[in-house]
Structure 1
């Protein structure tokens, strides 16, 4: 199985969630073994997607280098991961990736427009060899060995519109587009008001976020999925785990996970060479290659 990139350059203009300003984003093909590279056109700074370049996880996953940041990368990375793209350049002229409608379906449509091509180099994956866990009280994120890529997530909010939700997602491109990609980010009205008082969430509105008050959901159209809240958590987790730099073969399990816990998990995995094995998907790895070929079709 070969590495992938996009077939042609594509671009869009959207609003950043926190700054609320227009952002031009351009996606361009990259040759094999370059990975995913972010580029701030207004600063002339490239930021490779690497675990050590994650500088903040408070409200989103943020990359940084030389005091230059790119924020809210997780939704785009989630779609890129679902499409099996290994090499791509992402250029923006401001600090944030456009929020689109709060999900990743818009990025999927952009990648469909760009098309996917295979390169000459063999694709590599990270296969989890033993359980690794990060815990914060009763919250945790964990990876375990598996011959599939699975995201198994649970949440419990003391709100009548959410309550307890669980969802187990067996990874494939088609299943991602059907089950995960349309799940939107969500927040509570009192939090939105607080964030805006701090100069954040300036671009957030009912067209790009599920907003809840104490009585229920404010969005008139309602939910896109019965378990939209936990499905969005899976969407985020897929994007955050892409920071590993290679596709994950293993089972990701979480209760109330967050960007912070996901970032700590990727760091802990990469710091322990006994926790994983890098597998080249060549012909001799027939079973593993077959599983990943199915996943990204």
Structure 2
């Protein structure tokens, strides 16, 4: 099927259900992804909470970024949303209602691959409404303890991620990508979260990361990767950090047209740069893609590289 530019908002063709283990609680989690109308955005419903208050996956609902990204509303939260949000952002999915019966998204294999496979079961459909983007108009930057994150004007969706670990198993790695659905599937979706054995043992001793295992985490010992199968990519570590950034920047509530660059970043800085961007009304604007004549726009992949000239400003 021919690819189409990402001019329309999208959703899932049908409901799809998945279950897994929460990486922090170690308890089973069931989750359903449901189609949603244009303008809904990504919304979580904690079906175990009783009141079913919607929790919008937006920066104004950010609750915590300590070891994962958590959104909350009215005392109800959903944690570890970054890989699922990266999948929506990477595949170009704008509107989904996520029903979940626990306080965290299932970890699956520590990457976004299972969520991509889940969405492929039902497919993606375009809606009769234009997609809205957040366009970066001028540079914004934050720094902390030698690390930095910045957003720069760019006629596309570029990520330039640089990590630097003292461990010789990781060292310094850089990854640059112009994001679209093909790139996300091929280069980012399968990159797994990682951690050091000494840290895992520390968390376990305090009742944390109870669902963490070699099945969902790349674990590093003093001199080797503990997982018997090894790495999926030689630079899997920086690819996973890029995956996290794609998920965290989705808290903007719309795809960001610009370059995101970070050095030694993480969930906290990823979220903070979105807050910093929105705090300066001169640094960004909303733009919409023009909608072509109505026709069948069902698709399974939707690249989002779009020229700036195709958009008109809209700060509403």
- For normalisation by structure 1, the TM-score amounts to 0.95
Aligned to 1:288: 307
Moved >4 Å (runs of 4+): 289-292
State the Cα distance separating 1:46 from its structure 2 match: 1.7
SS for the counterpart of 1:91 is: strand
List per-residue Cα deviations over 1:37-89 (Å, max 9, x = no partner): 00100002320112111111000000111211100000000011111111100
Cα distance in 2 for partners of 1:143, 1:20 equals: 36
Cα distance in 2 for partners of 1:160, 1:2 equals: 45
Quick one: which of 6, 14, 17 aligns to 1:8? 14
State the Cα distance separating 1:290 from its structure 2 match: 9.5
Note if contact 1:134-1:265 (Cα within 8 Å) is conserved in structure 2: yes
CA RMSD of aligned residues (A): 1.7
1:117 and 2:125 equivalent? yes
Quick one: which of 73, 92, 97 aligns to 2:100? 92
Note if contact 2:156-2:306 (Cα within 8 Å) is conserved in structure 1: no
Cα distance in 2 for partners of 1:202, 1:50 equals: 27
Note if contact 1:25-1:91 (Cα within 8 Å) is conserved in structure 2: yes
Cα distance in 2 for partners of 1:138, 1:215 equals: 26
1:40 and 2:46 equivalent? yes
Q: Equivalent residues in 2 for 1:209-220 (5 A)? A: 209-220=217-228
Cα distance in 2 for partners of 1:53, 1:171 equals: 25
Aligned to 1:254: 262
Q: Equivalent residues in 2 for 1:67-146 (5 A)? A: 67-146=75-154
Cα distance in 1 for partners of 2:124, 2:187 equals: 21
Note if contact 2:290-2:310 (Cα within 8 Å) is conserved in structure 1: no
SS for the counterpart of 2:307 is: helix
List per-residue Cα deviations over 1:194-214 (Å, max 9, x = no partner): 111222110000010000111
Cα distance in 2 for partners of 1:275, 1:107 equals: 33
- My pick for the range that moved more, 214-223 or 44-53, is 44-53
State the Cα distance separating 1:268 from its structure 2 match: 1.1
Cα distance in 2 for partners of 1:283, 1:203 equals: 45
Cα distance in 1 for partners of 2:226, 2:149 equals: 30
- For normalisation by structure 2, the TM-score amounts to 0.89
Cα distance in 1 for partners of 2:192, 2:45 equals: 26
Q: Equivalent residues in 2 for 1:50-61 (5 A)? A: 50-61=58-69
